[in-house]
Amino acid sequence: MKLFKPTMLAIALVSVLGCQETAKKVEVAPVLDTEMQKQAYGLGASIGMYMQKNLEQHEKLGLPLEQALITRGFTDSLAGKSLIEKEEIQALLMNLDQAMKAKQQEVAKAESEAAIAEGIKFLAENAKKEGVQVTESGIQYLVLKEGEGEKPSAIDKVSVHYTGRFLNGEKFDSSYDRGDKPSVMRLNQVISGWTEGVQLMSVGAKYTFTIPSDLAYGPNGRPGSIPGNSVLQFDIELLKIEKAALPATATAHEATH
**pLDDT at 126 (0 to 100):** 97
Query: Does the annotation count 141 as an active-site position?
Result: no
List 11, 84, 120, 172, catalytic entry: 172
CATH code for the domain defined by 114-242: 3.10.50.40
List 217, 226, 236, 241, catalytic entry: 217
**33 vs 1, more confident:** 33
What CA–CA distances, in Å, run from 126 to 100, 205, 219?
Answer: 37, 21, 22
Structural domain boundaries in the chain: 6-103, 114-242
**pLDDT at 4 (0 to 100):** 42
**pLDDT tens-place string over residues 41-73:** 999 899 889 888 888 988 888 888 888 898 898
pLDDT at 255 over 60: no
pLDDT at 155 over 60: yes
pLDDT at 154 over 80: yes
**pLDDT tens-place string over residues 164-188:** 999 999 999 999 998 878 999 999 9
List 97, 166, 191, 214, catalytic entry: 191
pLDDT at 8 over 60: no
Q: Please, are residues 138 and 212 in contact by the beta-carbon 8 Å criterion?
A: yes
**pLDDT tens-place string over residues 180-234:** 789 999 999 999 999 999 999 999 999 999 999 999 999 988 887 898 899 999 9
Q: What are residue 236's DSSP bridge partners?
A: 162, 207
Query: Does the annotation count 89 as an active-site position?
Result: no
List 74, 162, 207, 209, catalytic entry: 162
% of the chain residues with pLDDT over 70: 84
Mean pLDDT of the chain: 86
List 76, 97, 173, 235, catalytic entry: 173
What CA–CA distances, in Å, run from 29 to 5, 25, 235?
Answer: 29, 12, 54
**pLDDT at 179 (0 to 100):** 81
Q: Which residues of 227-241 are buried (b: 16+ CB within 10 A; e: fewer)?
A: bbbbbbbbbbbbbeb
Rounded Cα distance, 4 and 14, in Å: 14
**pLDDT tens-place string over residues 102-125:** 998 888 888 888 889 999 999 999
191 burial type by CB count under 10 A (0-12 exposed, 13-18 middle, 19+ buried)? middle
DSSP 8-state code for residue 34: S
Query: Does the annotation count 122 as an active-site position?
Result: no
Please state the rounded mean pLDDT for residues 76-88: 90
CATH code for the domain defined by 6-103: 1.10.287.460
**pLDDT at 24 (0 to 100):** 47
pLDDT at 9 over 60: no
List 139, 226, 234, 241, catalytic entry: 234
**pLDDT at 248 (0 to 100):** 55
The residue type of 140 is Q
% of the chain residues with pLDDT over 90: 54
212 C-beta neighbours (distance < 10 Å), count: 21
Rounded Cα distance, 209 and 215, in Å: 12
DSSP string, 171-236: EEEEGGGGTTPPEEEEGGGS-HHHHHHHTT--BT-EEEEEE-GGGTTGGG-BTTTB-TT--EEEEE
**pLDDT at 14 (0 to 100):** 47
Task: Judge if pTM exceeds 0.85.
Answer: no
Query: Does the annotation count 176 as an active-site position?
Result: no
Query: Does the annotation count 70 as an active-site position?
Result: no
